[in-house]
């Protein structure tokens, strides 16, 4: 996990940094004595975890969380237990450490953060359906779950580690695989016609030789998939 | 009266002398600065800054193992929010004991 430490107190930064150095795989990328510098850093860098002091002059930790876009996991560090209730109003806050931080408590917080990162990664690679009967698919793009109506999808194309989902109104690039989305889409409407394409059969305009025209896209149909496609068509 | 100790520092450092030296140096550098900020806020009766200064000092108080001192500081911080300074003398005694102690580190 890549992390940064934000605390106006050098002693506190040093202690957190020491705890981090004792944990394999936890790398402190930068330390900041104020939130503004950290914000500038986060505009250009991605981190998995922030150790954030609440009490800082001028711009405090809660202001910081409210200001940054898509905050990563945050572990609050403070001398004030009174902030605990407010802290859990924010989804990004995974734990809350009272200073001075002990090794045992630190490790517990890291476990929570680590689990949270794993869940986030899983969400990023998985596409989830809310309810198959709703015909709705949620895709994770830039940490946002975006709703797509499945009937509006006419084509899904594999693009390396990503897939492009084309709908009537918009195209989406999602970090996932064709196999995963194929499993989520209803069989009676969608068909894999080529190793790189899944199409919505109901949106086909015409078929010529080994290609289908779907909207304005001409999609190749592999030899092995052609008979399956032909069976699905209501041929006269 | 409760006296400062190195229990937390020793637990944290676990024999890492280089880190201990670094940590002690930072504490020795920061503590007088924090006390100075506190004293200036006290003289100017700036309650907001005073509460912030006490809040910050609480960390050093607990690092130096002053459990009762930490409780008193927390109480004093609340008192300051109500613009009361009755515990200031007790708090000063804590600061003095820490100041003397870090000279021995």
Q: What is the DSSP string of chain A?
A: -EEEEE-S-HHHHHHHHHHHHTSTT-EEEEEESSHHHHHHHHHH---SEEEEES--SSS-HHHHHHHSSS--EEEEEES-GGGHHHHTTSTTEEEEEESSPPHHHHHHHHHHHHHHHHHHHHHHH--EEEEGGGTEEEEEETTEEEEEEGGGEEEEEEETTEEEEEESS-EEEESS-HHHHHHHS-TTTEEEEETTEEEEGGGEEEEETTEEEETTEEEE--TTTHHHHHHHS---
- Determine the Cα angle at B62 with ends B57 and B68, to 5°: 100
Tens-of-pLDDT digits for all 105 residues of chain B?
Answer: 799 999 999 999 999 999 999 999 999 999 999 999 999 999 999 999 999 999 999 999 999 999 999 999 999 999 999 999 999 999 999 999 999 999 999
* Closest listed residue to residue A47, CA positions, set A96, A13, A1: A1
> Among partner residues B12, B30, B52, which is closest to A15 by beta-carbon distance?
B12
Beta bridge partners of A219: A212
CA distance A166 to A110: 39
> Among partner residues A12, A80, A102, which is closest to B55 by beta-carbon distance?
A80
Residues A161 and A175: beta-carbon distance below 8 Å = yes
Omega of the bond leading into A183 within 30 degrees of 0 (cis)? no
Locate A42 and state its tokens.
């986060």
What pLDDT is stored for residue A90 in this prediction? 80
Give the pLDDT band of residue A74 (cuts 50, 70, 90). very high
**A22-52, pLDDT tens digit by residue?**
999 999 999 999 998 998 899 889 999 999 9
Q: Are strands A27-32 and A2-6 parallel, antiparallel or unpaired?
A: parallel
ipTM of model = 0.94
Q: B100: helix, coil or strand?
A: helix
- Count other C-beta atoms under 10 Å from residue A86's C-beta: 13
Residues of A with a Cβ under 8 Å from any B Cβ are 9-12, 14-15, 18, 55, 57, 79-80, 99-100, 102-103
What pLDDT is stored for residue A119 in this prediction? 65
Range A153-175 average pLDDT: 90
CATH superfamily of A2-124: Response regulator (3.40.50.2300)
What pLDDT is stored for residue A114 in this prediction? 87
Give the pLDDT band of residue A124 (cuts 50, 70, 90). low
What pLDDT is stored for residue A161 in this prediction? 84
Dihedral of CA atoms A116, A119, A125, A126 in degrees, nearest 10, equals -150
Kindly tell me if the per-residue pLDDT of A230 is higher than 90.
no
Fold match flag (A2-124 vs A128-232): no
Give the best residue of A79, A80, A97 to mutate against chain B (max B CB count within 10 A).
Answer: A79
| Rama region for B45: left / alpha / beta (φ>0; ψ in -120 to 50; rest) | left
Beta bridge partners of A52: A6, A76
The highest-level CATH class for domain A128-232 is: mainly beta
Range A74-102 average pLDDT: 82
Min distance A66 CA to chain B CA atoms (Å)? 21
What pLDDT is stored for residue B97 in this prediction? 97
Range from A109-118, A132-141, A146-155, B70-79 carrying the lowest mean pLDDT: A132-141
What domains lie within chain B, and their CATH numbers? 7-104 (1.20.120)
Min distance B2 CA to chain A CA atoms (Å)? 18
SS (H, E, C) B19-77: HHHHHHHHHHHHHHHHHHHHHHHHHCCCHHHHHHHHHHHHHHHHHCCCHHHHHHHHHHH
pTM, 2 dp:
0.66
Min distance A142 CA to chain B CA atoms (Å)? 37
Residues A199 and A155: beta-carbon distance below 8 Å = yes
Annotated domain spans of chain A: 2-124, 128-232
- Count other C-beta atoms under 10 Å from residue A201's C-beta: 16
What pLDDT is stored for residue A132 in this prediction? 47
Range A203-231 average pLDDT: 88
> Among partner residues A11, A57, A103, which is closest to B59 by beta-carbon distance?
A11
């Amino acid at each position: 996990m890549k992390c940064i430490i934000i605390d106006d107190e050098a002693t506190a930064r040093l202690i957190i940094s020491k705890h981090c150095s004792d944990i394999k795989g936890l790398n402190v990328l930068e330390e900041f004595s104020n939130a503004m510098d950290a914000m500038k850093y986060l505009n250009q860098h991605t981190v998995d975890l922030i150790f954030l002091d609440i009490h800082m002059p001028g711009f405090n930790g809660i202001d910081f969380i409210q200001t940054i876009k898509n905050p990563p996991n945050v572990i609050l560090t403070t001398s004030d237990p009174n902030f605990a209730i407010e802290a859990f109003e924010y989804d990004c806050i995974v734990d809350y450490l009272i200073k001075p931080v002990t090794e045992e408590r630190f490790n517990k917080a890291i476990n929570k953060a680590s689990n949270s990162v794993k869940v986030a990664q899983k969400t990023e690679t998985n596409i989830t359906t809310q309810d198959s009967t709703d015909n709705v698919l949620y895709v994770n793009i830039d940490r946002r779950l975006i709703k797509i109506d499945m009937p509006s999808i006419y084509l899904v194309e594999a693009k390396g580690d990503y897939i492009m989902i084309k709908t009537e109104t918009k195209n989406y690039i999602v970090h996932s695989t064709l196999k995963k989305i194929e499993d989520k889409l209803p069989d009676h409407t969608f068909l894999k016609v080529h190793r790189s394409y899944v199409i919505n059969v109901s949106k086909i305009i015409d078929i010529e030789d080994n290609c289908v025209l779907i909207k304005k896209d001409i999609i190749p149909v592999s030899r092995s998939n052609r008979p399956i496609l032909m069976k699905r068509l209501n041929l006269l | 009266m409760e006296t400062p100790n190195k229990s937390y520092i020793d637990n944290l450092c676990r024999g890492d002398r280089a880190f201990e030296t670094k940590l002690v140096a930072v504490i020795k550098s920061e503590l007088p600065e924090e006390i100075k900020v506190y004293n200036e806020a006290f003289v100017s009766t700036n309650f907001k800054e005073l509460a912030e200064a006490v809040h910050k000092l609480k960390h050093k108080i607990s690092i130096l193992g002053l459990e009762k001192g930490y409780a008193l500081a927390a109480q004093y911080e609340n008192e300051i929010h109500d613009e009361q300074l009755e515990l200031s003398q007790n708090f000063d005694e804590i600061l003095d004991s820490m100041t003397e102690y870090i000279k021995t580190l």
